[in-house]
């Protein structure tokens, strides 16, 4: 069955709405994606975007915290938010018939949040606990430290959570100023997925978001300089080594992103038949998990490989990763083309299954519209993937021979 495609509706205020109609579903999804994340902070305000996201539910001009949470929970809905380095998303999932309630509430949060100091005191402690406990999960912390290392000195070169010191110093005025500066018409995309008609949703959004400020046009983020470097860190209490190696790849919507994606999927994607999983786990039993992943920003991108292993096997596993990349780079083009046909079918199948997730689909469309001004259709993406050539994969395998590397040692 062909999935419904996203529509773009521009309201009279200039606010953009991404709309996907799903007939016959019982739940709607509504939210906003704002072009404001940790890359928009200064050294003294690291963690501010995330703190704003945490405390946006803690009181508006019209509502106390309990009223905000109960507004959706009373009808069986849920309210959530998350922050990345370049965006913040606030959204709600709700049963049929509660669209007006959901849209009005999210608009109130975006326009009227006050960040009262009494609530901020509690949330600062929650975030600081989150910062401290995050170090207890080295398989996650190693990724953040790797990004900090390769993007050092750029807007991408610091953790989304900030530090305990910077978060402790942030106040109510900092949060309100951040909200008013970034949560604006030109820097926000509104999204809806559900059974309601586009005209009905557009009318509700127009009415509820009329108070959203226009604000100054956001300046483009300066290019982030990727630095190929390596480091080893000794951490007490670890039982194994945690290793990330990576290269810079194309940006979020650059021309090479499809070849990057196919290469990552072929090398260490979710299938048990990925090249690295076969080499490190199935044949040799050296790791439990080895995976490659892509992290994309508007001005840069990362392809990383992660594995955890016995400390005595670290060098061997690194060598096997590079030997696998060398073997792929040296594969004759005609032989590799036949392998790519299978890899393309597998990846397209994975993407088709993933697109069934309504949350991911509507939020991905909103992010694309916010950052590029357009949304790539499923047909366009399929065409791009089908035209990937062996030479594009070979060049990426060659690049993986000279990686940045971060190792956490016990």
- DSSP category for residue 324: H
The SS3 assignment for 389 reads coil
The predicted-structure confidence for 279-301, as pLDDT tens digits, reads as follows 999 999 999 999 999 999 998 99
The predicted-structure confidence for 159-178, as pLDDT tens digits, reads as follows 999 999 999 999 999 999 99
Evaluate whether 139 touches 291 at the Cβ level (below 8 Å).
no
DSSP string for 54-119: HHTTS-BSS--HHHHHHHHHTTT-EEEEEE-SS-EEEEEEEETT-HHHHHHHHHHHHHHB---HHH
Question: What distance in Å separates the CA atoms of residue 125 and residue 10, rounded to the nearest whole number?
Answer: 40
Unique residue bearing structure tokens 């913040």: 88
b (16+ CB within 10 A) / e for 291-306: bbbbbbbbbbbbbbbb
How is residue 8 written in tokens?
A: 């773009």
Of 254, 253, 300, 264, which is closest to residue 396 (Cα–Cα)? 264
Distances (CA, A) of 15 to 43, 101, 104, 223, 369: 31, 19, 15, 27, 12
Instruction: Give burial (CB, 10 Å; 0-12/13-18/19+) of 7.
Output: middle
The predicted-structure confidence for 210-249, as pLDDT tens digits, reads as follows 999 997 666 555 566 788 889 999 998 899 999 999 999 9
Distances (CA, A) of 307 to 25, 28, 269, 393, 406: 40, 38, 13, 22, 11
Question: What distance in Å separates the CA atoms of residue 93 and residue 71, rounded to the nearest whole number?
Answer: 12
Evaluate whether 46 touches 163 at the Cβ level (below 8 Å).
yes
| Ordered per-residue pLDDT tens for the chain, 410 residues | 577 889 999 999 999 999 999 988 889 999 999 999 999 999 999 999 999 999 999 999 999 999 999 999 999 999 999 999 999 999 999 999 999 999 999 999 999 999 999 999 999 999 999 988 887 889 999 999 999 999 998 999 999 999 999 999 999 999 999 999 999 999 999 999 999 999 999 999 999 999 999 976 665 555 667 888 899 999 988 999 999 999 999 998 888 999 999 999 999 998 899 999 999 999 999 999 999 999 999 989 999 999 999 999 999 999 999 999 999 999 999 999 999 999 999 999 988 888 889 999 999 999 999 998 999 888 899 999 999 999 999 999 999 998 899 999 98
Evaluate whether 309 touches 287 at the Cβ level (below 8 Å).
yes
Evaluate whether 71 touches 63 at the Cβ level (below 8 Å).
yes
Residues present in the chain in total? 410
Question: What distance in Å separates the CA atoms of residue 292 and residue 267, rounded to the nearest whole number?
Answer: 7
How is residue 302 written in tokens?
A: 């990362």
Q: What is the CA radius of gyration of the chain?
A: 23
User: How far, in whole angstroms, is CA 85 from its chain's centroid?
Assistant: 8
Non-local (6+) Cβ contacts of 49 within 8 A are: 36, 37, 38, 40, 41, 83, 88, 160, 178
Which phi-psi region, left, alpha or beta, contains residue 47 (left: φ > 0; alpha: ψ -120 to 50)?
A: left
H-run or E-run covering 241:
strand 241-249
Evaluate whether 326 touches 275 at the Cβ level (below 8 Å).
no
The SS3 assignment for 338 reads helix
Task: Calculate helix-pair angle for 48-55, 117-134, nearest 10 degrees.
Answer: 120
Strands 287-296 and 301-309 turn out to be: antiparallel
Question: What distance in Å separates the CA atoms of residue 162 and residue 236, rounded to the nearest whole number?
Answer: 23
Model confidence, pTM: 0.94
Domains in the chain and their CATH numbers? 7-208 (3.30.830.10), 230-409 (3.30.830.10)
- DSSP category for residue 228: -
């Amino acid at each position: 069955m062909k999935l419904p495609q996203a529509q773009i509706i521009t309201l009279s205020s200039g606010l953009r709405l991404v709309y996907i109609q799903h007939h016959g579903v019982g739940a709607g999804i509504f939210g906003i994606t704002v072009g404001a994340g940790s890359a928009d902070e200064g050294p003294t305000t690291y963690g501010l975007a995330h703190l704003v996201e945490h405390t946006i539910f803690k009181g508006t001009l019209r509502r106390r915290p309990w009223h905000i949470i109960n507004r959706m929970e009373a009808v069986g809905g849920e309210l959530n938010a998350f922050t990345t380095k370049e965006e913040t998303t606030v959204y709600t999932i709700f049963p049929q018939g509660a669209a007006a309630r959901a849209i009005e509430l999210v608009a109130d949060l975006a326009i009227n949040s006050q960040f009262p100091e009494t609530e901020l005191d509690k949330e600062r402690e929650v975030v600081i606990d989150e910062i401290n406990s995050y170090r207890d999960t080295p398989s996650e912390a190693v990724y953040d430290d790797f990004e900090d290392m390769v993007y050092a000195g750029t807007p991408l070169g610091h953790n989304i959570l900030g530090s305990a010191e910077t978060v402790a110093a942030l106040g109510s005025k900092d949060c309100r100023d951040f909200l008013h500066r970034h949560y604006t018409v030109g820097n926000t995309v509104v999204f809806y997925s559900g059974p309601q008609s586009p005209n009905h949703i557009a009318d509700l959004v127009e009415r509820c978001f009329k108070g959203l400020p226009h604000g100054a046009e956001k300046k483009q983020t300066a290019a982030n300089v990727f630095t190929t470097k390596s480091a080893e860190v000794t951490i007490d209490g670890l039982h194994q080594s945690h290793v990330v190696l990576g290269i810079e790849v194309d940006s979020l919507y650059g021309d090479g992103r499809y070849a990057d994606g196919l290469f990552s999927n072929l090398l260490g994607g979710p299938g048990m038949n990925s090249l690295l999983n076969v080499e490190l786990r199935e044949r040799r039993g050296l790791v439990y998990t080895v995976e490659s992943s892509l992290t994309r920003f508007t001005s840069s991108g990362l392809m990383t490989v992660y594995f955890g292993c016995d400390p005595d096997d670290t060098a061997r596993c690194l060598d096997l990763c590079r030997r696998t990349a060398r073997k792929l780079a040296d594969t004759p083009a005609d032989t590799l083309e036949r392998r790519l046909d299978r890899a393309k079918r597998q990846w397209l199948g994975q993407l088709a299954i993933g697109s069934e997730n309504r949350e991911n689909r509507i939020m991905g469309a909103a992010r694309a519209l916010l950052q590029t001004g357009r949304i790539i259709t499923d047909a366009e993406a399929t065409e791009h993937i089908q035209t990937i050539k062996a030479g594009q994969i070979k060049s990426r395998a060659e690049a993986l021979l000279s990686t940045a590397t971060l190792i956490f040692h016990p």
